[in-house]
Amino acid sequence: MINDLPGHLANMRAYFREGHTRSYAFRKQQLLALKKAIETQEQAIYDALYQDLRKSPEESWVTENGFLLSELNHTLKWLKAWMEPQHKPTNLLNLPSSSRVESEPLGVVLIIAPWNYPLQLLLTPLVGAIAAGNCVVLKPSEFAPATAALMQSIIEQTFPPEYICCIPGDGATVIPAMMEHYTFDHVLYTGSTAVGRIIYKMAAEKLVPVTLELGGKSPCVVEADANIQVAANRITVTKFSNAGQMCIAPDYILVHRSVKDKLVSAIRQKIEAFFSTDPQQSYEYGKIINAKQFNRLRNYLSQGTVLHGGNSQEETLYIEPCLLEVTDLQAPVMTEEIFGPVLPIIAYDSMEQAMEIIQRNPNPLAFYLFTGSTKKERAWLDQVPAGAACINNASWHATNHHLPFGGRGFSGSGRYHGKYSFDTFSHQKAVLKTPTWFDPAMKYPPFKGKLWLFKWFIR
Ligand code: NAD
């Protein structure tokens, strides 16, 4: 428990300046300590995630603790190579100097996480921040209290507080208290676009660089030539994982009219196959995080024709997976990010018509396309600017730590995961080293009459 926050943050800055975090040996040791803590606390992690979101251990492994361990292992494997200076060519003007880029730690960084993957979204960025040699303040979400408490205890038991600390509590109070009185060297925020805007403004006041991992409406297009059974499998498993509370879940489906009925019937079957005819009792199916989100989601159910599911129970924060046929594109279910188990489906006749719908919410966090045609794949990828894309898949790009993860425009700025995290939490410092044995007079005044020479060297 930290009482004197300004004093504590000043201690972190001093700890960073003393250089403890810089060596490869130190960074590796801290990553190994984090790995050990996550492995030791495995059961406690499952218990907390079940309490907050009713996640099963299997789902947790894929999307939370196993996901994190995979990122840790990848980083441990490559960290030494990432830390090496990158040698660069030197231009004629600067010869015989040598040039390199060094990855320099930023300093004291702030990582702010949301409630939907309350472990993974807090600790995956932490891996990159440790790897890059920083001190870190972690802010878990108050809306996943069991996991937030566990995160705090893991951090307190694993790291000295002047190196890494965890500050829980109400974001609207705690975060301004930190950001207004202290200049962080970087902020990585994951959460809603509305709060992202607040964070961006606070950071701008002090010219603090930010990475914003925000939300949005990720469209999922199913073309007439798609493999419908496979599309239904992959859309259903991701959309209803974590009860739809996933930033990169397919937000809505645009299906070619010729295959709409086939797709609807396939998704219905998959929902029953994956979550049974009574998903409320299913081991595989989660709950809505709180009453506020439950009520927001339940309102969507009346904004279209329910084709499947949609039963709900407030006491248990349960909303059954729901397939909703939507015709009113002005309805909130089509203008707001859904972030829950409601899946609108809209039939389209032409690419232009589908594009008109997608462009109402530009720059989504992800774009999903199901098609058998590489020509269509190229056309759609060229048409839809998005943070990421999957062809014949949905959401799994996030689990490949070789790919950058991030949005664009309203869905965010910057990227992380794997080497991209290391780069996000490092400054790429350009270094030019010049020998003293060669010091030609042409580089010094008087310059008069040397224009022809400069024109020869600088071109
Ligand atoms: P949230 O309410 O937990 O908020 C996120 C963080 O912001 C929390 O730590 C909270 O304490 C803090 N916060 C809340 N209000 C604040 C304020 N006024 N000032 C400063 N900080 C404040 O989570 P959320 O925003 O409801 O999360 C859901 C959203 O996050 C969705 O839009 C989703 O798409 C997005 N998301 C994005 C990603 C991604 O990787 N791009 C991942 C998960 C979730």
Pocket test for ligand 1, best of 247, 251, 405 (most atoms within 8 A of CB): 247
Give me the domains of the chain, ranges plus CATH numbers: 5-214+409-431 (3.40.605.10), 219-399 (3.40.309.10)
Q: Which residue has the higher pLDDT, 5 or 149?
A: 149
pLDDT at 282: 95
Closest CA to ligand 1's atom 30: 191
Minimum-distance ligand 1 atom for the alpha carbon of 169: 11
Local confidence band at 181 (pLDDT 50, 70, 90 cut-offs): confident
Residue 422 CA, distance from chain mean position: 14
Model confidence band, residue 216 (pLDDT cutoffs 50, 70, 90): confident
* Distance (Å, whole) CA 65 – CA 154: 13
Ligand 1, atom 5, lies closest to the CA of 114
Q: Which residues of 431-457 are buried (b: 16+ CB within 10 A; e: fewer)?
A: eeeeeeeeeeeeeeeeeeeeeeeeeee
Would you say residue 5 has pLDDT above 90? no
**Residues identified as active-site:** 213, 247
CA of 330 to the centre of ligand 1 (A): 25
pLDDT at site 2: 75
pLDDT in tens, 144-160: 999 999 999 999 999 99
Cβ-defined contacts of 167-173 (< 8 Å, 24+): 167/2, 167/5, 167/137, 167/138, 167/139, 168/139, 168/140, 168/142, 169/142, 170/142, 171/112, 171/139, 171/141, 171/142, 171/195
Rounded Cα distance between 318 and 309, Å, is 12
Q: What is the pLDDT of residue 4?
A: 85
55 C-alpha to ligand 1 centroid (Å): 19
Pocket test for ligand 1, best of 71, 124, 137, 175 (most atoms within 8 A of CB): 175
Q: d(Cα 268, Cα 170) in Å, to the nearest integer?
A: 40
- Pocket residues: Cβ below 6 A from ligand 1: 112-116, 121, 139, 141-143, 171-172, 175, 190-192, 195, 198, 213-215, 247, 337, 339, 365, 407, 412
Average pLDDT rounded to a whole number, residues 348-354: 97
**245: pLDDT strictly greater than 80:** yes
Give me the mean pLDDT over the 166-188 stretch: 95
Q: What is the pLDDT of residue 196?
A: 96
Cα of 187 vs centre of ligand 1, distance in Å, is 13
Cα-to-centroid distance, 189 and ligand 1 (Å): 8
Closest CA to ligand 1's atom 2:
114
* pLDDT > 70: percent of the chain: 100
pTM above 0.85, yes or no: yes
Atom of ligand 1 nearest to the CA of 171: 11
Which residues, 6 or more positions from 34, have their beta carbon under 8 angstroms from its beta carbon?
72, 123, 126, 127, 130, 158
List, in order, residues 6 or more apart from 23 with CB less than 8 Å away: none
pLDDT at 219 over 90: yes
Query: Mapping DSSP to helix (H, G, I), strand (E, B) and coil, where does residue 260 land?
Result: helix
